[in-house]
Homo-oligomer: A and B are copies of this chain.
Amino acid sequence: MCLNRQSSIPLYEQVVNYVKEKIRTGQWPVGSRLPAQRKLAEWLKVNRSTISTAFDELAAQGLVKSAHGKGTVVINNTWGLLTDRKPANWQQLIEAGHYKPNLAIIQKINAAEFYPGIIRMGTGELSPDLLPNRKTSELLKNLNLRSFSLGYCEPKGNRQLREEIARYVAGFGIQTAPSSILIVSGALQALQLISIGLLERGTTLLLEKPSYLYSVNVFQSSGMRFAGMPMDSEGMCVDKIEAYKKNTPHSMLYTIPNFHNPTGRLMSAARRKQLLAVSARARLPIIEDDVYRELWLGSPPPLPLKADDHAGNVLYLGSLSKALSPGLRIGWVIGPEPVIDRLADLKMQNDYGSSNLSQEIARAFLHTGAYATHTAHTRAQLKIRRDYLLERLDSLFADLAEWQVPTGGFYIWLKVIPDIHAAALFQEALKQNVLLNPGILYDRDAGQYLRLSYSYASFDQMDEALRTLRRIILEQSQRSF
């Protein structure tokens, strides 16, 4: 959005007109808050004082009102010809909706990731230069568009893609059939479908603490409770599970055995066996979130729980997001057929299936072997990136933090030694163009932690971000003396 500096209309008046247009077209309805003056000034590339003059003018015309501490609110849209137009009370509706909003800091991160010039130091995705644009383009050119449908899809998703996935997961021991597979728009959607389709409000979910799941509201919004299990070097500790399950008979367990988000940890083969045994004894269903499987940097991880799940206790989640492309929005759920049927039915209620185009490209990646080639390439590149970040940490943070070497995935779970205030650190870093994922997103008690990612930022950016971070931590910890 740019104002016209050559115009004979003063800038402040252009701002007035801009705001009026927003109000007139119902984009900023009565009762809504105007953006902060500072933000608007940035946006429209004018001085703060120009905005301030414009707001005064709007207030004088009776269109907006500033309330102390509450910002500026639209109170009227009845200038000119518009008279008897009363707006619906959207604010009330927004508050009435039964899903919780994302945590404010998550909302901030979701938006800030797209700020120009920002360094994304905590992001859970591959850097653009690791994404397979060229290969995708090639596969798209060779797509046989005659043979695939642009119509609505079967409830469980493209049949040929499900066949490819069945073949693919057989490679690490999961025996299944297309009818036991549901295609979803990423593993997150699988979690959402599980939350509405398999769980009563008030159900307890056992999970690792910390966990990715604390950072998304998908289960909390449906009224589930979390019971966090501690982790050790082999992954989730299993000793308290049976006791929990006895108290909350309808519980389910969620785990990320491979390259856990956010700790980067790998569950050992022995621990997997123990967990399956506990699950069998306690009849405890397991959600196995395996989205990082392909991203091993040393040797391949142990077989998934699902590979040894002869009782059918495990719902297995996979995704193309982490090793290929999140923008495709393709993932899968594998489980007992009646469960897959139920989830497929709910998927039809939510969005009538995932993009056929994405499904077709996913099929082509798997079918041609391009997926395997690409993941090998990704691993090699990630390894270099991990090693670089570790080296930079060694030289810049040896005195300030502790960490372990992840054997796969995207993350280093950094424990900062000086006392930090997570929100203040996040804010200050953002001001200096470094976007962080604070540990508290994944565990309320992890205030000293940061989830650093070596998957996204460039080498120079990683170096710069660590230097900035070091400076801020030192400043903020000195100030607190």
Contacts and interface: CB of A to CB of B under 8 A. Distances in A.
Nearest to A346: B99
A87 B311 CA distance: 5
Interface string A306-339: 0001111110000001000111110000011111
Interface of A: 21-22, 24-30, 32-33, 77, 82, 84-94, 96-99, 101-102, 107, 110-111, 113-114, 125-126, 128, 131-134, 136-137, 140-141, 143, 145-146, 149-155, 175-177, 179-180, 184-186, 188-189, 192, 196-201, 203, 216-218, 221-222, 250, 252, 279-281, 283-285, 309-314, 321, 325-329, 335-339, 342, 345-346, 348-358, 361
Nearest to A194: B97
Given A24-B310, A311-B86, A338-B90, A131 B102 contact: no
B356 A151 contact: no
A349 B151 contact: no
A309 to B, nearest CB: 5
A284 to B, nearest CB: 6
A198 to B, nearest CB: 4
B355 A355 contact: yes
A217 B349 contact: yes
A92 B283 CA distance: 12
A310 B98 contact: no
10 contacts: A26-B314, A92-B250, A96-B250, A98-B201, A102-B345, A110-B348, A114-B154, A192-B349, A192-B350, A216-B349
Contacts of A176: 25, 27
Nearest to A138: B145
Given A177-B27, A283-B88, A350 B189 contact: yes
Most chain B beta-carbon neighbours within 10 Å: one of A32, A222, A327: A327
Total identical chains: 2
Contacts of A32: 336-338
A410 to B, nearest CB: 13
Nearest to A340: B27
Contact of A311 (B26, B218, B281): B26
Given A97-B198, A102-B345, A329-B354, 19 more contacts: A25-B176, A28-B336, A28-B337, A29-B311, A30-B312, A77-B311, A84-B280, A85-B310, A86-B280, A88-B285, A90-B312, A102-B348, A136-B145, A137-B143, A141-B141, A151-B327, A188-B352, A217-B349, A357-B358
Contact of A357 (B92, B177, B311, B327): B327
